[in-house]
Amino acid sequence: MKKKNGFRTPFHALQVASWVIMIFHALIGILCISFLLSTYELVIFLIIYYTSFIIVIAQGIFLTKSDPSINIPFQNVDKSPTAVNFMCTICKCYVTETSKHCGSCDRCVDNFDHHCKWLNNCIGKSNYKQFIRLILLLEANLVILLIFEILIIDKWKNKGLDIDEDIENADIFFIILDIILNSIFLLLVGYLIIFHIFLKFKKLTTYDWIRQRKKAKKNAKKKAIQPQIIFYEEEENGTCNKNSTFKNPQNTHDELIPMMNSSDTKNSTPKNLQISQSLHKSAPTIDSDIIMTDRT
């Protein structure tokens, strides 16, 4: 069934986990951290932490509610004789060349990046910037929380109180626990930010990157199972030398594979034919064939 946005059931386990984490982070601030801060620190904490927290929640709700699906109405399809249009065989609608049918949401997404399990929604052309904004805001929010948590632990140490003895104290226990969890999330979100910066420089989407990796792995596997015919070069005196260099005649064909794979199907296909787009067939989650239609 077509999913309009991430608030439609079934919810993903990671999505529910993200709600639990956010509720935990809202409560830890009020129930644990706020009691251990001075009035001055408390005011700063409440303003900075909860402002960033509310912004993250609002951005998360906005993104979960967003609908990045694409369905080009027939009247908007380019009907010029030379036009090449793309159609999803599942949605039975016109889409763009960079569209991908998401199996989880059962809809086509323009410039598909990935299906985010934490948001239970697709990330594509219309909501990609909001997604980047969300992970940046989340990272900032986690950093603020971690700073205040470390400040509290530091204060307890400076008071001469042994944290090991006070570990039974629920506040300190939860703060230490959250420092560990927070550090893990901080690294994960940080990695995600760096990964998307890398993708930006490479001009790739997450989907493109996954496909490239799969293709490279497939080619490497193909190479590995090819029979390795080793030709020992004979020395001038007619004897075979163990240390002689070997040649694999198959290697000459390897160069042809990427050239064949990268051939443009659009240019090589007669215009009056409908073809399955190989680009979408090799998708990590094969969800649909996008057919190329000619309006002539």
Q: What is the DSSP letter of 244?
A: S
Identify which of residues 92 and 129 has a Cβ nearer to Zn ion in the complex: 92
Identify which of residues 34 and 104 has a Cβ nearer to Zn ion in the complex: 104
Written as one string, the DSSP assignment of 252-273 is HHHTHHHHHHTS-HHHHS-TT-
Q: Which ranges in the chain belong to alpha helices (H)? A: 13-28, 39-65, 128-158, 170-202, 206-225, 251-254, 256-261, 265-268, 278-281
Strands 100-102 and 93-95: unpaired
Identify which of residues 33 and 102 has a Cβ nearer to Zn ion in the complex: 102
Structure tokens given for 240: 């075979």
Q: Determine the length of the chain.
A: 296
Minimum distance from residue 296 beta carbon to Zn ion (Å): 24
Identify which of residues 56 and 122 has a Cβ nearer to Zn ion in the complex: 122
Minimum distance from residue 126 beta carbon to Zn ion (Å): 13
Minimum distance from residue 115 beta carbon to Zn ion (Å): 4
Contact 49, 25 (CB under 8 A): no
Minimum distance from residue 91 beta carbon to Zn ion (Å): 3
Identify which of residues 67 and 171 has a Cβ nearer to Zn ion in the complex: 67
Minimum distance from residue 295 beta carbon to Zn ion (Å): 20
Measured between alpha carbons, how far is residue 151 from residues 44, 187, 189 in Å? 13, 20, 22
Residue 100: in which H helix or E strand, if any? strand 100-102
> Which residues contribute to the site for Zn ion (CB under 5 A)?
88, 90-91, 101-102, 104-105, 108, 115, 122
Minimum distance from residue 121 beta carbon to Zn ion (Å): 6
Minimum distance from residue 108 beta carbon to Zn ion (Å): 3
Identify which of residues 59 and 121 has a Cβ nearer to Zn ion in the complex: 121
Could you tell me the end-to-end alpha-carbon distance of the chain, in angstroms, rounded to an integer? 33
3-class SS of residue 154: helix
Structure tokens given for 126: 């219309």
Identify which of residues 53 and 86 has a Cβ nearer to Zn ion in the complex: 86
